[in-house]
């Protein structure tokens, strides 16, 4: 067995990284907004919204993919509109894969952000207020920098989770080599192929290395930020 | 003029505060813990909404619930120094100081260099905030508030979280702030010594209400104040004028009313006004001119009032010419000496009792 991955396997790795990155970039601002909404605002239906945000954690990923297909498919209400108005197609594309992984990792991101937002002392925001900072200014100059460790931890966790998402991706955007066949999908495919054990082993090692480096990076980063804040 | 009249209900707690302060001046909001001082500070700063009321500072109206005026905190131009400093942990000292300055609108009355100089924080600029001592943190917090170019500086127990040594380190800076910047200040405290050193006016608070107010010297013998600070700390606060050094003793001579006190050597020029506290327990009353005593400070006066105090003692008020001082003596002594209003007396002040009670310079006038 050769240890060196084939071009196809490298493509799967590259695609995984690309999909995960898109997924995080897309969900980051949305998650930030929901974290803020759920932590700082009191409104009717907050508990319900909280539960809704957490749904992907408890639903079968295949079902999430199926719902996405219904909504974002070319005949779905949102997918159809996107296609008509902007010519954007999500099914069978890597952007679609990014959307599926974003939805699946969304609760993880919101959770990490909420924890860090709760730990931001409101007194510091009050102090900023008396120093002349309006609401957006306060958020950008005080709240966001102070919750940055949580935001980054959330982003890295979500990125790692996005690398590994399988069910929702294969259901929503299928398993197209070079477009939607990410590492887990490639691994699955290899296992379905006769004599694919070596390829599967290589892909598994790649997944393992990727996941480990993500976790280590996250830990290293959290430490740096803590030192910067003197905690 | 800084005027406040606000009401706020919070659960079972009812705040009902009213006071006025001629500007520039330093008003101390004084009362026991839990009397509503902090709530009042938050309302003045705009961080908490009043149920009803009006707040005005010179010619700007900050709050008037009747006229639907409500200036948000970020536009009130009130610098707040919190008890816990609240420095931004992700910024350097310099960035903290500049935070308000960058957001301030003209007119600018104080520069970064001036503030650094005044508060002695020039050497801390590149430090992270967690590397600062408690006293340094508060000085940076004061500087940060000043640099936002406020029209009023609101200090919410700025020294309460510091130990005695650190408090002694920060207090002189607050004094020089008062004397050099002429910025109106509202100083919240439950420590009467701080009030004595800093305030020109005193507002007493109890159970959410402002119960008495006035100039500090006039308020010093207020019965409500007496109840809060306890009998040991009761004493007249009178204004004195430095006359100059006494060559014989090496002490400084200070005119108080008609009398003259010799106090520890002061670095102040003749003519400087001082605030002098004469604790009631440190005064001795004589009905004839005393001779052959070790006590050096004797002031002639006339009894104006004899009032019963707790624990079988009387508080004797004595007019010493333009000022009233108070002595605590036992009721038996009071009867024996037949102290009644109109009676001429001599008040003996142990000169050592003045130490530490000669307060900072109120007005550096010649």
Identify the band that residue B364 occupies on the pLDDT scale cut at 50, 70 and 90: very low
**Shortest CB distance from A130 goes to which of B45, B88, B130?**
B45
pLDDT at B366 over 80: no
**pLDDT tens readout for residues A132-168:** 999 999 999 999 999 988 888 889 889 988 998 999 9
* Domain B235-354 CATH assignment equals 2.40.50.100: yes
pLDDT at B359: 39
Which of B39, B45, B73, B156 has the highest number of chain A CBs within 10 A, making it the mutation to test binding with A? B73
Going by pLDDT thresholds of 50, 70 and 90, the confidence category of residue A230 is low
Interchain contact B106–A (C-beta under 8 A): no
CATH class of B2-229: alpha beta
CATH class for domain A7-229? Answer: mainly alpha
pLDDT, position B363: 36
Label residue B164 exposed, middle or buried (CB < 10 Å: 0-12, 13-18, 19+): exposed
Looking at residue A14, its pLDDT comes to: 92
Residue B46 is predicted with a pLDDT of 95
Q: Compute the distance between CA of residue B202 and CA of residue A212 in angstroms, rounded to an integer.
A: 64
Residue of A nearest to B90 (CA): A229
Q: Tell me which residue has tokens 């029209």.
A: B151
Band (B357; pLDDT cuts 50, 70, 90): very low
> Looking at CA atoms only, how far is residue A224 from chain B in angstroms?
12
Q: What is the pLDDT of residues B293-309, one digit of tens each?
A: 877 788 899 999 888 87
Contact A127/B79, CB-based, under 8 Å?
Answer: no
- C-alpha A114/C-alpha A62 separation (Å) is 27
Q: Judge whether B190 and B157 are in contact, CB under 8 Å.
A: yes
> Can you give the residue ranges of every domain in chain B?
2-229, 235-354
Number of neighbours of residue B34 by Cβ within 10 angstroms: 12
CA distance B126 to chain A (A): 13
**pLDDT for res B361:** 37
So where are chain A's domains? 7-229
Q: What's the gap in Å between the CA of A101 and the closest CA on chain B?
A: 33
How sure is the predictor about B71, in pLDDT bands with cuts at 50, 70 and 90?
Answer: very high
Preceding amide of B215 cis, omega within 30:
no
**pLDDT tens across A206-219, in order?**
999 988 888 888 78
Give the other-Cβ count within 10 Å of A205's Cβ: 12
Residue A59 C-alpha, separation from nearest chain B C-alpha, in angstroms: 39
Q: Does A224 touch chain B (CB under 8 A)?
A: no
Q: Do B89 and A126 touch (CB under 8 A)?
A: no
Q: What is the DSSP letter of B264?
A: S
B11 touches chain A (CB under 8 A): no
Which residue of B46, B75, B89 is in closest CB contact with A229? B89
Q: Which of residues 122-161 of B touch A (CB under 8 A)?
A: 128-131, 144-145, 148
Contacts of B131 in chain A (CB under 8 A): 230
DSSP B69-126: EE--GGGS-EEEE-TT----TTSBHHHHHHHHHHH--SPP---HHHHHHHHT-GGGTT
User: pLDDT tens digit string along B167-214?
Assistant: 888 888 888 888 788 889 999 988 888 888 888 899 999 989 999 998
In this structure, of B52-56, B263-267, B313-317, B330-334, the range with the lowest mean pLDDT score is B263-267
Q: In chain B, pLDDT over 70 holds for what percent of residues?
A: 96
When pLDDT is cut at 50, 70 and 90, the band that residue B231 belongs to is: confident
pLDDT tier at A1, thresholds 50, 70, 90: low
Residues 155-214 (A) with a CB less than 8 A from some CB of B: none
For residue A26, the model assigns a pLDDT of: 92
Is residue B77 within 8 A of residue B148, CB to CB? The reply is: yes
B120 touches chain A (CB under 8 A): no
Question: For residue A35, what are the CA distances in angstroms to A100, A107, B280?
Answer: 20, 10, 60
H or E element: which one contains B74?
none
Residue B358 scores a pLDDT above 50: no
Contact state of B89 with A131 under an 8 Å Cβ cutoff:
no
Residues of A with CB below 8 A from B75's CB?
132
- A70-127 pLDDT tens trace: 999 888 899 989 988 898 889 899 999 999 999 999 999 999 999 999 999 999 999 9
Task: Indicate if the pLDDT at residue A37 is higher than 90.
Answer: yes
Which pLDDT score is estimated for A29? 94
């Amino acid at each position: 067995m050769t240890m060196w991955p084939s071009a196809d396997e490298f493509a799967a790795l590259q695609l995984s990284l690309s999909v995960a990155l898109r997924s995080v970039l897309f969900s980051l601002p949305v998650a930030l907004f929901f974290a803020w909404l759920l932590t700082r605002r009191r409104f009717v239906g907050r508990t319900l919204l909280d539960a809704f945000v957490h749904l992907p954690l408890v639903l079968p990923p295949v079902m999430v993919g199926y719902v996405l297909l219904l909504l974002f498919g070319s005949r779905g209400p949102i997918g159809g509109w996107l296609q008509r108005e902007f010519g954007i197609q999500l099914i069978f594309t890597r952007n679609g894969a990014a959307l599926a992984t974003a939805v699946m990792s969304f609760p993880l991101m919101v959770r990490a952000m909420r924890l860090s937002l709760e730990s931001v002392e409101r007194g510091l925001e009050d102090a900023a207020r008396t120093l002349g900072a309006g609401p957006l200014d306060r958020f950008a100059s005080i709240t966001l920098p102070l919750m940055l460790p949580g935001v980054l931890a959330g982003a890295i966790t979500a990125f790692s989770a996005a690398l590994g998402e399988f069910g929702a991706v294969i259901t929503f955007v299928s398993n197209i080599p070079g477009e939607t066949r990410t590492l887990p999908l490639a691994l699955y495919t290899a296992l379905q192929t006769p004599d694919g054990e070596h390829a599967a082993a290589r892909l598994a090692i790649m997944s393992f290395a990727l996941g480990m480096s993500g976790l280590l990076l996250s830990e290293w980063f959290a430490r740096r930020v803590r030192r910067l804040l003197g905690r | 003029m800084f005027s406040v009249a606000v009401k706020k209900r919070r659960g079972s707690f009812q705040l009902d505060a009213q006071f006025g302060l001629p500007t520039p001046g330093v008003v101390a909001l004084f009362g026991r813990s839990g009397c509503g001082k902090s709530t009042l500070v938050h309302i003045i700063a705009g961080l908490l909404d009043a149920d009803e009321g009006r707040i005005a500072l010179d010619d700007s109206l900050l709050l008037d619930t009747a006229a639907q005026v409500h200036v948000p905190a970020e536009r009130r131009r009130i610098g707040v120094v919190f008890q816990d400093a609240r420095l931004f942990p992700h910024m350097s000292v310099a960035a903290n100081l500049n935070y308000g300055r960058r957001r301030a609108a003209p007119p600018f009355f104080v520069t970064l260099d001036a503030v650094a100089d005044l508060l002695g924080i020039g050497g801390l600029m590149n430090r992270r905030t967690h590397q600062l001592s408690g006293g340094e943190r508060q000085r940076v917090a004061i500087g940060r508030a000043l640099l936002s170019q406020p029209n009023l500086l609101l200090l919410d127990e700025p020294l309460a979280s510091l130990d005695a040594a650190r408090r002694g380190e920060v207090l002189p800076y607050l004094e020089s702030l008062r004397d050099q910047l002429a910025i109106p200040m509202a100083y919240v405290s439950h420590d009467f010594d701080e009030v004595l050193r800093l305030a020109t006016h005193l507002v007493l608070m109890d159970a959410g209400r402002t119960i008495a107010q006035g100039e500090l010297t006039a308020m010093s013998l207020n019965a409500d104040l007496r109840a809060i600070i306890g009998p040991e700390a009761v004493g007249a606060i009178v204004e004195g004028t430095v006359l100059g050094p006494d060559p014989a003793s090496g002490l400084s001579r200070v005119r108080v009313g008609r009398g003259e006190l010799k106090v520890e050597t002061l670095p102040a020029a003749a003519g400087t006004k001082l605030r002098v506290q004469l604790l009631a327990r440190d005064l001795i009353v004589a009905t004839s001119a005393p001779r052959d005593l070790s006590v050096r400070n004797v002031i002639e006066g006339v009894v104006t009032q004899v009032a019963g105090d707790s624990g079988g003692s009387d508080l004797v008020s004595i007019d010493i010419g333009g000022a009233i001082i108070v002595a605590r003596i036992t009721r038996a002594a009071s009867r024996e000496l037949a102290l009644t209003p109109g009676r001429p007396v001599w008040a003996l002040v142990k000169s050592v009792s003045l130490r530490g009670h000669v307060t900072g310079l109120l007005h550096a006038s010649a």
